[in-house]
């Protein structure tokens, strides 16, 4: 359909009224200046919205391809020793997962036994367990895990703090706090959870990072540090890796995480020096 | 379930089978229409039959029992003390003889006119409102709420019958002022923003709140808009903003229905009283002095592990006791934001929205609703269209307005500027009268017959746009 032919500015003969201020969309991702059919959203904006919602819904419900991810990660030059663990929460399916957050925070019996057996058969001390969890977007995990971890391991190497890593853990139907269960069973000093965040309408692929020092079952979010919105169109991988490395090293020095560990890595400072003048008031 | 009869305060026998309910809280929970949050808490009825029996049992409970049996102990909870200490026996007298079931009939009857409903307001407790709502159909919740007229004012008049206001919500993920201004312009030109222009800040501190308050105040002054602004930051931040001389119109706080919930939010009733006094001292309202803006939502008490064994809807209604103590301009139930572990799908969200609106209105609050959902709930725009329409019929005070329904900061979908115009046009509703006059004066809209926008960009905004885009617009 030729857009020009069916729309106009201020012409009442046309069904769609364009907004002269649609140029504002150069300054924000908000859906401004959509125009209107009568008082309703024009077709050309209605259907892309429906598509964005469909993609977000699909991201929530798509199953993580855990075998492929485990294989890919184990082949990386930086991969920690040991085959990645493939684990599952107590939530048997997505419908249960969505309604029972408590189930998503605990490993099922089989997964718990795997980790317990590993711990019983190994004397290796672990400084850090990295736990990759599908959360609310397996898409986020499949797109971002490899590039982020590649940057993270480079950054950890650069910092020369000699982190001893547990085998990677991959978890299906998990919430953030399932990292505590893993951390406690592996007796790791600290856990970093990579989890698919709740999809936004324009961000179905957002990865969240949660750092917990001394993770153990029952901790609240007050004991965690979070880095959010890691994805190609959000926080880039090098920035996220630098922040995570900073927080990991600080946590290790202070032996804590959460509200008492402030992020002073300084690359996300809000600029408050500008005046409040905006184009609406000149 | 073989249980001893003495365990139960309430019993109901059906065809030789006895259903028992341990206490009033248990009965209330089991009588609640199904929702995921009560299932998660383990309070919900175990079968559809048990729920129906609980509703029949609850219908026989006298309203006066709620004055004798506190669902959260008086000694432990300042909200229980607020509810019982402020209860007005004179206002209660006309309904004192009724059961919950009789109260439903009375509310629906022609005895309960708008004036009569106003006169009994102080005699109704949140628990009575919650109880009767549990045995009401959706159409009952709509019809009675429509009879409750709650008028508030600051720089315009909110809540007149036949009017639907909107909160313009120009959120931006980095609080970028140009981005916020773009959404504000879009909203104003779509005739939105008469309830409040309210920003959820991405960076939540005093400095940022002050900056955003100043920015909105400049726009309101510049265009002489009869509306008010609010930054939705913690109440203690707003108190500090006022102390530092910020141009605060409305004080915001999220509130819950138990003291423990509000403890987890970091405030108590004394904090709210201090904030209200501080905002009143600025004397910035021109047609009224309602200076508080509260948000609520079913599930917050469970989320904070502060529910005292109460179902989530009863906890929610108790939050309205907190709200009405401070004469708010606006109360907003953010119904679909909390997620599917509390309200699973469009049906549960719709029911909760209607319950909250009804209970709030019955208790005398200027009740609006954030008709919304997250992408992990089983809901979509059509569910929102349905709830918006139902609430519009019910006389809802205000809804949210956001560009294209997409909140790019909070990552959820709520009603758009277009949606508000749909509701106004479909149901013959108008914005606040002072704001409507401003829309005419600015050549934005005309509402003489059916609400409609003018096609041309008004002159005043043409200049603003040119400043940004260098005259290429």
Closest residue in B to A275 (Cα–Cα): B211
- The residues, any chain, with a CB within 8 Å of residue A142's CB and separated by 6 or more, are A64, A65, A69
User: Is the pLDDT reported for residue B84 higher than 60?
Assistant: yes
Of B372, B366, B350, the residue nearest B145 (C-alpha): B366
Adjacent-strand bridge partners of B18: B13
Region A237-245: mean pLDDT is 95
Closest residue in B to A268 (Cα–Cα): B174
Instruction: Give the range of the structural domain holding residue A248, as residue numbers without chain letter.
Output: 60-254
Asked if residue A101 belongs to a domain, the reply is yes
Asked if residue A182 belongs to a domain, the reply is yes
- The pLDDT value recorded for residue A263 is 73
B chain contacts of residue A9, beta-carbon cutoff 8 Å: 455
> Does residue B303 have a known ligand-binding role?
yes
DSSP codes, B26-42: HHHHHTSPP-HHHHHHT
Any idea what DSSP says for residue A64? P
Contact B247, B217 (CB under 8 A): yes
**pLDDT tens sequence across A74-112:** 999 999 999 999 999 999 999 999 999 999 999 999 999
Asked if residue A267 belongs to a domain, the reply is no
- Count CB-CB contacts under 10 A for residue B85: 9
Asked if residue A112 belongs to a domain, the reply is yes
User: Is the pLDDT reported for residue B473 higher than 50?
Assistant: no
- The pLDDT value recorded for residue A11 is 52
The crossing angle, in degrees rounded to 10, of helices B206-222 and B235-243 is: 70
Q: For residue A6, name the pLDDT band (cuts at 50, 70, 90).
A: very low
Of B165, B108, B88, the residue nearest B399 (C-alpha): B165
User: Is the pLDDT reported for residue A128 higher than 90?
Assistant: yes
CATH at A242: 3.40.50.11240
CA-to-CA distance for B28 and B72, rounded, in angstroms?
Answer: 13
ipTM of the complex: 0.94
B chain contacts of residue A32, beta-carbon cutoff 8 Å: 182-183, 185-186, 403-404
Q: For residue A233, name the pLDDT band (cuts at 50, 70, 90).
A: confident
Percent of chain B with pLDDT over 90: 89
A chain contacts of residue B170, beta-carbon cutoff 8 Å: 30
Q: For residue A270, name the pLDDT band (cuts at 50, 70, 90).
A: very low
A40 → closest Cβ in B208, B418, B469: B418
- The pLDDT value recorded for residue A276 is 61
Instruction: Work out whether the CA dihedral B250, B255, B260, B263 comes out positive or negative.
Output: negative
- The residues, any chain, with a CB within 8 Å of residue B129's CB and separated by 6 or more, are B317, B320, B358, B359, B362, B363
Q: What are phi and psi of A256, to 5 degrees?
A: -160, 170
**pLDDT tens sequence across B386-438:** 999 999 999 999 999 999 999 998 999 999 999 999 999 999 999 999 999 99
Contact B232, B168 (CB under 8 A): no
Please state the domain count of chain A: 1
Q: How close B414 gets to chain A, by Cα (Å)? A: 11
Residues across chain B: 473
Contact A100 B405 (CB under 8 A): no
Contact B468 A60 (CB under 8 A): no
User: Is the pLDDT reported for residue B205 higher than 60?
Assistant: yes
- The pLDDT value recorded for residue A274 is 47
- The pLDDT value recorded for residue A4 is 43
**pLDDT tens sequence across B119-157:** 999 999 999 999 999 999 999 999 999 999 999 999 999
Q: For residue A264, name the pLDDT band (cuts at 50, 70, 90).
A: confident
**pLDDT tens sequence across B322-369:** 999 999 999 999 999 999 999 999 999 999 999 999 999 999 999 999
CA-to-CA distance for B415 and B403, rounded, in angstroms?
Answer: 9
Asked if residue A43 belongs to a domain, the reply is no
Pairing mode, if any, of strands B196-199 and B10-14?
unpaired
> Does residue A131 have a known ligand-binding role?
no
Task: Show the CA angle centred on residue B368, arms to residues B367 and B373, nearest 5°.
Answer: 135
Chain A and chain B share a number of CB contacts under 8 A equal to 186
- The pLDDT value recorded for residue A162 is 87
Asked if residue A210 belongs to a domain, the reply is yes
Which letter, b or e, does each residue of B97-121 get, where b requires 16 or more Cβ atoms within 10 Å of its Cβ? Answer: ebbbbbbbebbeeeebeeebbeebb
Q: How close A24 gets to chain B, by Cα (Å)? A: 6
Query: In chain A, which among 88-147 make CB contacts under 8 A with chain B?
Result: 98-102, 136
**pLDDT tens sequence across B455-466:** 888 988 998 888
Going from the N-terminus, what domains does chain B have, and what CATH number goes with each? Answer: 5-59 (2.30.170.30), 152-453 (3.20.20.70)
Region B366-387: mean pLDDT is 97
Q: Find the Cα–Cα–Cα–Cα dihedral A136, A140, A144, A145, rounded to 10°.
A: 40
Contact A28 B176 (CB under 8 A): yes
Helical segments of A78-174, H only:
94-99, 101-104, 109-120, 138-159
Query: In chain B, which among 177-216 make CB contacts under 8 A with chain A?
Result: 177-186, 189, 203, 207-208, 211, 214-215
Of B204, B219, B306, the residue nearest B253 (C-alpha): B204
User: Is the pLDDT reported for residue B208 higher than 80?
Assistant: yes
Q: What are phi and psi of A130, to 5 degrees?
A: -100, 120
B444 touches chain A (CB under 8 A): no
Average pLDDT of chain A to the nearest whole number: 90
Contact A8, A22 (CB under 8 A): no
User: Is the pLDDT reported for residue B300 higher than 60?
Assistant: yes
Helix (H) or strand (E) holding B327: none
Asked if residue A226 belongs to a domain, the reply is yes
Q: Find the Cα–Cα–Cα–Cα dihedral A200, A202, A205, A209, rounded to 10°.
A: -50
pTM: 0.92
């Amino acid at each position: 359909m030729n857009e020009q032919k069916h729309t106009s500015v201020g012409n009442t003969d046309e069904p769609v009224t364009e907004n002269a201020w649609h140029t504002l969309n150069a300054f924000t991702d908000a859906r401004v200046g959509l125009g209107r059919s009568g008082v309703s959203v024009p077709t050309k904006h209605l259907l892309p919205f429906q598509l964005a919602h469909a993609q977000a819904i699909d991201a929530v419900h798509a199953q993580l391809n855990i075998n492929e991810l485990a294989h890919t990660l184990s082949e990386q030059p930086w991969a920690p020793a040991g085959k990645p663990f493939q684990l599952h929460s107590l939530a048997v399916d997505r419908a249960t997962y969505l309604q029972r957050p408590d189930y998503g925070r605990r490993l099922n019996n089989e997964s718990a036994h795997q980790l317990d057996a590993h711990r019983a058969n190994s004397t290796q001390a672990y400084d850090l367990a990295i736990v990759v969890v599908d959360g609310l977007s397996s898409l986020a995990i499949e797109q971002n895990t490899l590039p982020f971890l590649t940057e993270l391991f480079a950054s950890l190497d650069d910092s020369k703090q000699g982190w001893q890593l547990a085998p990677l853990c991959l978890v299906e139907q998990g919430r953030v706090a399932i990292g505590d269960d893993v951390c406690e069973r592996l007796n790791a000093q600290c856990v970093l959870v990579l989890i698919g965040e709740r999809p936004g309408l324009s961000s179905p692929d957002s990865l969240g990072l949660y750092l917990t020092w001394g993770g153990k079952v029952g901790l609240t979010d007050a004991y965690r540090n979070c880095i959010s919105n890691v994805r190609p169109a959000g926080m880039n991988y090098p920035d996220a890796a630098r922040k995570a490395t900073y927080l990991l090293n600080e946590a290790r020095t202070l032996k804590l995480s959460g509200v008492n560990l402030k992020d002073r890595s300084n690359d996300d400072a809000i600029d408050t020096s500008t005046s409040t003048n905006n184009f609406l008031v000149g | 379930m073989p249980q001893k009869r003495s365990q139960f305060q309430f019993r109901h026998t059906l065809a030789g089978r006895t259903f028992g309910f341990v206490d009033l809280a248990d009965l209330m929970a089991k009588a609640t229409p199904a929702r995921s949050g009560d299932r998660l808490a383990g309070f919900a009825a175990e079968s559809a039959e048990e729920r129906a029996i609980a509703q029949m049992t609850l219908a026989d409970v006298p309203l006066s029992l709620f004055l004798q049996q506190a669902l959260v102990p008086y000694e432990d909870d300042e909200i229980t003390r607020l509810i019982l200490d402020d209860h007005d026996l004179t206002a209660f007298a006309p309904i004192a003889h009724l059961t919950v079931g009789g109260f439903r009939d009375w509310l629906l009857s022609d005895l309960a006119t708008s004036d009569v409903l106003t006169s009994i307001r102080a005699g109704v407790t949140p628990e009575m409102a919650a109880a009767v709502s549990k045995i009401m159909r959706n159409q009952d919740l709509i019809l009675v709420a429509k009879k409750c007229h709650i008028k508030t004012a600051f720089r315009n008049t909110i809540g007149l019958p036949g009017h639907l206001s909107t909160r313009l919500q120009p959120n931006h993920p980095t609080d970028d002022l140009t981005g916020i201004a773009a959404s504000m312009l879009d909203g104003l030109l779509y005739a939105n923003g008469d309830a409040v222009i309210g920003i959820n800040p991405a960076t939540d501190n005093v400095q940022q709140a002050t900056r955003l308050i100043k920015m909105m105040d400049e726009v309101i002054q510049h265009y002489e808009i009869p509306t008010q602004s609010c930054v939705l930051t913690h109440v203690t931040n707003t108190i500090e903003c006022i102390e530092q001389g910020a141009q605060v119109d409305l004080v915001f706080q999220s509130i819950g229905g138990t003291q423990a919930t509000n403890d987890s939010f970091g405030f108590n009733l004394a904090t709210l009283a201090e904030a209200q006094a501080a905002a009143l001292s600025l004397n910035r309202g021109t047609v009224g002095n309602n200076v508080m803006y509260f948000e609520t939502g079913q599930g917050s008490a469970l989320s904070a592990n502060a529910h005292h064994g109460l179902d989530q809807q009863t906890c929610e209604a108790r939050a309205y006791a907190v709200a009405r103590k401070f004469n708010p301009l606006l109360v907003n139930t953010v119904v679909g934001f909390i997620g599917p572990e509390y309200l699973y799908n469009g049906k549960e969200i719709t029911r909760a929205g209607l319950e909250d609106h009804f209970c709030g209105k019955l208790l005398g609050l200027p009740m609006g609703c954030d008709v919304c959902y997250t992408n992990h709930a089983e809901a979509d725009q059509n569910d929102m269209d349905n709830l918006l329409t139902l609430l519009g019929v019910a006389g809802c005070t205000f809804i949210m307005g956001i560009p294209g329904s997409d909140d790019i900061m909070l990552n959820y979908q709520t009603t758009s500027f277009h949606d508000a115009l749909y509701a106004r046009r479909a149901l013959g509703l108008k914005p606040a009268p002072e704001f409507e006059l401003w829309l005419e004066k600015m050549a934005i809209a005309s509402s003489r017959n059916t609400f409609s926008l003018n096609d041309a960009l008004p002159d005043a905004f043409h200049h603003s746009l040119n400043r940004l885009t260098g005259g290429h617009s």
